[in-house]
Amino acid sequence: MITRADLPKFASNRNAGTPEENKAVVQGSIFYFGRSSVNEAGKTITTHIEVCSFPNWVGIERKSTYTINGDELDTTASGSTVGEGTVRAVYKRAK
C-alpha cells in the first residue's frame, strides 16, 4: 500500500470520515500486490500486478527504476492512476 505523505487527517475523532475526507484518502492511496522480479544490471523492479485498488492495473507489469542508499530503497516509475507523470516512492528499512 502506498499513500501520499500529506494525506489529510479526519476533522473529528470518529472512526469514519466524511464523504470528502474519504475521497481525499482514496485519491491519495493505492494498494497492489503480485510477484516482483529484480534486474540488478538494469536497476529495475518489475511488479506483475495480481490485485490492485485501481482495476485497470490488474494483470499488468509495472516497471520501476531503483537505487539503494544505505537503508533506503528509492523507486521511480512513469505514469500514475491519475494520468501521466512520475511516481516516486522511498522505502526505509525497519530497524
| pTM for the model | 0.70
Decide: helix, strand or coil at residue 13.
Answer: coil
All cell numbers assigned to 38:
529484480
Task: Report yes or no on 54 lying in a domain.
Answer: no
Which residues span the domain enclosing 15?
Answer: 1-30
> What is the end-to-end Cα distance of the chain in Å, rounded?
20
- Position 83 scores a pLDDT of 63
For residue 20, being part of any structural domain is answered with yes
Helix or strand or coil: residue 66? strand
Q: Is residue 14 part of a domain?
A: yes
User: Could you give the C-alpha distances from 18 to 2, 23, 87, in angstroms and in order?
Assistant: 21, 8, 27
The pLDDT score that the predictor gives to residue 46 is 95
Q: Please list the rounded mean pLDDT of every run of 10 residues in the chain (95 residues).
A: 76 76 82 94 96 92 95 88 75 90
Asked, for residue 35, whether it belongs to a domain, the answer is no
Domain count for the chain: 1
Residue 65 has what pLDDT? 96
- At residue 81, the pLDDT reads 62
CA-to-CA distance for 30 and 6, rounded, in angstroms?
A: 14
Domain membership of residue 15 (yes or no) is: yes
- According to the model, what pLDDT value does residue 20 have? 84
Is there a contact between 73 and 38 (Cβ–Cβ < 8 Å)?
no
